[in-house]
Each structure stands twice: as structure tokens, then as C-alpha cells.
Amino acid sequence: MAAPSIAKNRRLGITGNPDYDGTPFTDFASVTSATRVEDLNLNWRERDLPERERTKHVHRLHPYLGKFVPQLVEIFLRKYKPATVIDPFCGSGTTLIEASTLGTASIGCDISEFNCLLTQVKLGEYDLDLLEREINDVLTRLHLELRPTLFSNGRSEQLRSSSEYLQTWLAPKALSQLLVYRSLIPDYTYQDVLRIVLSRAARSARLTTHFDLDFPKKPQTEPYECYKHRRTCHPTDEAEKFLVRYSLDTLRRIKEFAQIRAKATAQVICGDSREVAFPPADMVITSPPYVGLIDYHEQHRYAYELLGLQTRESEEIGPASGGSSRAAVGRYVDDMTDVFRNAMRALEPGGRMVVVVHDRRDLYAEIGKRLGVKTEYRLRRHVNRRTGRRATDFFEDVIVWRT
């Protein structure tokens, strides 16, 4: 992708280097209040900031589209050292998790009940010995339950009573295994952790191609030529292997996070950020949804169906299902203005709001104008997408507003 024009960048007040020139900044712990963020090269390539570092510990507890790089959050938390930070679109909890590692109190809000569940599980404080015993025990019981017996016919009724979505997107064997695991969850203390394991396994067990887990359009029931593995692959028909794999991975990641987290409060509010009353804070850090790009409820539809979660998809801001027409863009600008104006009520005068967004329509200059904030600086960084088949790169703006 060609870099945006210099004249356009100047008009928007954009600084920073849009190309992969020089050495990208990776010494995150060195950031202090004196660090000039606008001088940092944040154009990370895979070799500069590998996926294992972008998805360290609980950041990868469950796949999530639209999350932003945790190292960006770390930079701004270290520079401004807020006592309390708000994320009005907390999503999978990136801001809150990074705040917790640095001892910063945090408040997150999201309209999606699944997002809130995922964030709360990541931030949970656990008796690690008990958690390990429960994870091992549920897997043992699952294995025993799945052995062929005279009573296996009872699972057929469970399959028939499952939603049309689950029966369409999961092979009967895979769905049956997921339902058995789900039936065991109420027997344990850390039920929400097990629900996240169940959801993650369901995502991988769906009837879809290996290379299109993010945006599957229809169930894949026949063998196919796999772009990811460069061979003929078959759609999966079972889920037990995923339940085992993700159980162990979840335990490992929670243990890793427990070793580095600091003492800090973290609150998750499940609600509409245009309306909730945020507690007092001195900073906002967020990566809001982009207009017409992702349906945040739909990407985790399997979780809503399996876990019986309440959906509020009609209240999403800028969903893909709403398109990107002029009217949709207008609604997006209005809604975003309402969100940030509401968040500003929790900030002291002079508080900062850091917004990380792919602003290809240049909407945030208008949003900032409506809010009456001062743009301290606006960086544009080059993002090279490396996952799935979404291999195109793009430019992401990092905007710092002062109230």
C-alpha cells in the first residue's frame, strides 16, 4: 500500500514515519514521562515484534478480531502514568491487562457480554492449584463420558435440542463432545474459565477451512485445497482434542500472567459506553471499532449459542452489517462523539484520551472538533497484517487528545 500523501498528513497534523525506515522501537520498559512518543518508530514488522510477544500470557486466551497491540498501551501508560485508565471499548481486555501489569487501576466497558466474560477471566485472580486440579478433573471426566456405553443415546437428544446454528456449523461428533463438556462445568469453582475453554474449542471445531476461521461464510463439509497447509485438508469432525489443547494452554497462560501482574483494581462494565457512568479517571486508552468492518457479536456467535449469553448486536457501533454508506458513517461519527463525550465526564480537565484507530476516512478530526479537545499529536504507523488470509497492510493512527 502506498504511503498517504505528505500534504494530507500535514493537514491532519500527522507526524511520525509511515514507512518501515530505521529501527523500530522495542525498549518499552525505558519509556518515561520525558519520552517523545512522536519520535518513536512504531512500525513493527514480525521480526521486530513477533506474534509470541504481541500475544503473550493471557492476551491469547481466546482469538479476537480487532484487538490492538498491547505494547502500544504499555508505551502510553509508562509515559503518562495515570492512576486510573478507562477503555470504553475494552473488547478482549488489552488495556486492562496491560494496566494490571503496571499497577494502574483500570475500568473497561463493552456492549458484548462475551467480551466482558473473556476480559473478566483474563483478569481473574485464582487459586492456581485448585484451577489446575479442576482443569485436569474436567478433562478426565470428559474422556470417561465420551466412551461408548449403553447410555450414549442420551447425547442424541442433546444434539437434536441444540440450536440450528450449532447443528449447522459443527459436525455431530464435535457438537456432542462440546455439549458433554458444557454439562460438566457447573460442578466446578472456576466455571467461567471452563466456559472460555469451551468457546475457544468450539471456534476451532467449526466446519470451516483452516485458513478462514475469522470470517467463514458457509460450512465446509467436503475436502478442500488448504492455502494454510498447502495440501488437501478435511473439515474437523471432533472437538475433544481442542478441549484438551486449550485447557492446558489456558492454565499455562493464566499462570504466566499471575507471575507478572501487580496489585491494581480492574472493573469491567457490561453496557453501552454512550450511557454508563464511568468512575473518575485521569486517562482513556482505547481502540474503537471501525465503521463497517466487524460484527463483534457475530464473530463469537458460537459462544453466544453454547453459553446462552444475551446479545445486544443492534447496539454495536459501526458494525459490518450496517455497511459503510454515508448514512452509516454519519451515525458512526455521532455515536463515537457520544462515547468520548461521556468518557470525558469522568476525566479531570487536562486529562488525555489516546485513540488507536484505522481512520482511513479521516473521521476523527471531526469527532475531535465536536468534542472540543486539543490534538496533542497524531501518529501514523504502518501495520503489516500477518494472520490468516488478510495479508494486506494498512495505516493506523494513534491520536492523543487533551481535554
Digit-coded pLDDT (tens) for 195-209: 999 999 999 999 998
How high is the mean pLDDT of the chain? 90
User: C-alpha dihedral over 250, 216, 336, 323, to 10 degrees?
Assistant: 180
- Judged against a pLDDT cut of 80, whether residue 13 lies above it is answered with no
CA angle at residue 90 from 125 to 355, to 5 degrees?
Answer: 135
DSSP states of 36-50: -GGGS-----TTTS-
- Residues 119-130 have pLDDT tens digits of 999 999 999 999
- Which residue stretches of 24-148 are H helix? 51-54, 70-80, 94-101, 113-123, 128-145
- Judged against a pLDDT cut of 70, whether residue 20 lies above it is answered with no
Residue 144 — pLDDT band, cuts 50, 70, 90? very high
- Residues 68-77 have pLDDT tens digits of 899 999 999 9
The pLDDT score that the predictor gives to residue 388 is 45
- Judged against a pLDDT cut of 70, whether residue 12 lies above it is answered with no
- Residues 180-195 have pLDDT tens digits of 999 999 999 999 999 9
Adjacency order of strands within the sheet including 281-286:
14-15, 374-384, 393-402, 347-357, 281-286, 84-87, 105-110, 266-270
Strands 393-402 and 374-384: antiparallel
**Domains detected in the chain:** 6-124+264-402 (3.40.50.150), 128-256 (no CATH)
8 A C-beta contact, residue 206 and residue 169: yes
- Judged against a pLDDT cut of 50, whether residue 171 lies above it is answered with yes
Tell me how far the alpha carbon of residue 184 is from its chain's centroid: 27
Strands 266-270 and 374-384: unpaired
Q: Which of 7-11, 284-288, 341-345, 396-400 has the lowest mean pLDDT?
A: 7-11
Residue 250 — pLDDT band, cuts 50, 70, 90? very high
- Residues 88-121 have pLDDT tens digits of 999 999 999 999 999 999 999 999 999 999 999 9
Give me the percent of the chain exceeding a pLDDT of 90: 73
The pLDDT score that the predictor gives to residue 158 is 73
